[in-house]
Amino acid sequence: MREGSLDAPIRHPIDWNSPEFYDEKLLDDELRRIFDICHGCRRCFNLCDSFPKLFDLIDDSETGELDSVASEDFKPVVDACTLCDMCYMTKCPYVPPHEFNLDFPHLMLRYRAVEKKKGKDGFIARQLSKTDRNGKLAKPVAGLANWASKRDNTTARGIMEKTLGIHRDAALPEYTGKTLEDRAKANELTVNTEAPAYGRKAVIYATCYGNYNSPSIGEATRSVLARNGVETEVVYPGCCGMPLLEQGDIPAVAENARTVAADLCGWIDKGYDVIALVSSCALMLKFEWPLIDPDNTDLKKLAEATFDVSEYVVDIAKREGLTDGMEPLEGPVSMHLACHARAQNMGAKGAEMLRLIPKTRVAIVERCSGHGGSWGMMKGNYETALKVGKTAAKNALQSGAPFIASECPLAADHLLQGIEKQDPEAVKEKQAGHPIELIAKAYGLTETS
């Protein structure tokens, strides 16, 4: 048996349809097997709060080993995992194909799936994961919803903290009264027939965040691609299911996958590439869905045809070349490498794309932002989220960049909050957003209303 592995990580399908997957004795045996390996290695101690919790749990036990830790004490370790996959992708020497077969994030997912099957998932978390329902409900009252969720609305945020457990200081995504689908239908773009990439066709998967919360990401993508000769269509058949995956609701994720894939595969058959606007959603389409339903041919076809938006623009630049016309930005960019972009194993495509802007310095922020999706917004996690992201915020601040970019928009907003904690004046001069929005800015393309 080798000590550690230099082979590329691989992942096994998630056997969630097997009764053994939900067997609590087998789950506990696997938790103890994996936790004991982690205890003996500890390379992952600085990634997230799961590992410090695990190691403190063992170190403070009677024997200082896992044998004296009660199984019911494992739950805080599981709850602290945000399924970022960074332990799997960047730190752990024992992931498959190593004989130890260690997949910490998917083990945490299995624990949550067992809790879900037993009805122990939290009511509030379950409601927050229903992003399509929440987006549709908020759409006609977007102004009111955004007013209530502002951090300076102390009354409303105090009520939200007490009833929903969302920390009163956590920045929350706004809702829009005009979704990306609505805007695309109302604003037909002229495709540049002189562009080197003319002839490409791409269907933009809006994602729940891009459709209901931040349509500017999709608008920037449409404008940049039209300038570069790419015909686009915007569709949104439903959520990718990442919020459901975080709650262990694997059957619901599988149902969403089948629905979305059936729609998108129709576009693939017509010669369209698929672009996902948010890195978490691209990760689901490329990697997680095929592991959940490995026999589904639609999912395999979709995984092979899907691009992260930054990945797609870089692909155009390398294959055909981008059109001229980009101007330097008014200062450098601090580019945060989001975990779910890194987990796609495609390289730092967001940073690579931004370096296409003339005379614009791109400073890389590689450390975790700490937000972890809805995890970092909750009252019990918010301060920990800021602590985890403190170094990333510090690096972004020290870069002197007025632009904070991340392929995970929530991470960019969370970094702004971290910067605010360190320098309340400096944060006023900074903007957060997706890197494709900066490409649109460099081209001089304006947002539609």
* Predicted local distance difference test score (pLDDT) of residue 448: 37
* Predicted local distance difference test score (pLDDT) of residue 2: 62
CA–chain centroid gap for 166, Å, is: 19
Do 209 and 173 meet the contact criterion of CB atoms below 8 Å apart?
yes
Helix (H) or strand (E) holding 432: strand 431-433
Q: Is the dihedral of CA 108, 113, 116, 117 positive or negative?
A: negative
List phi, psi (to 5°) of 110: -65, -40
Q: Number of C-alpha atoms within 13 angstroms, CB side, residue 167?
A: 17
Confidence (pTM): 0.93
Residues of the chain with pLDDT under 70: 1-5, 446-449
pLDDT tens-digit readout, 390-425: 999 999 999 999 999 999 989 999 999 999 999 999
Dihedral over alpha carbons 279, 280, 285, 290 (to 10 degrees): 130
Fold (CATH) for 180-319: Glutathione S-transferase Yfyf (Class Pi); Chain A, domain 2 (1.20.1050)
The closest alpha carbon to 436, from 257, 276, 231, belongs to 276
Mean residue pLDDT across the chain: 94
Instruction: Give the residues across from 273 on adjacent strands.
Output: 202
Q: How far apart are CA 22 and CA 27, in angstroms?
A: 7
Domain residue ranges in the chain = 19-117, 123-164, 180-319, 333-443
Dihedral over alpha carbons 108, 111, 115, 116 (to 10 degrees): 60
Q: How many residues appear in the chain?
A: 449
Q: How far apart are CA 397 and CA 381, in angstroms?
A: 23
pLDDT tens-digit readout, 314-323: 999 999 999 9
pLDDT tens-digit readout, 115-143: 999 998 888 888 889 999 999 999 999 99
* Predicted local distance difference test score (pLDDT) of residue 249: 96
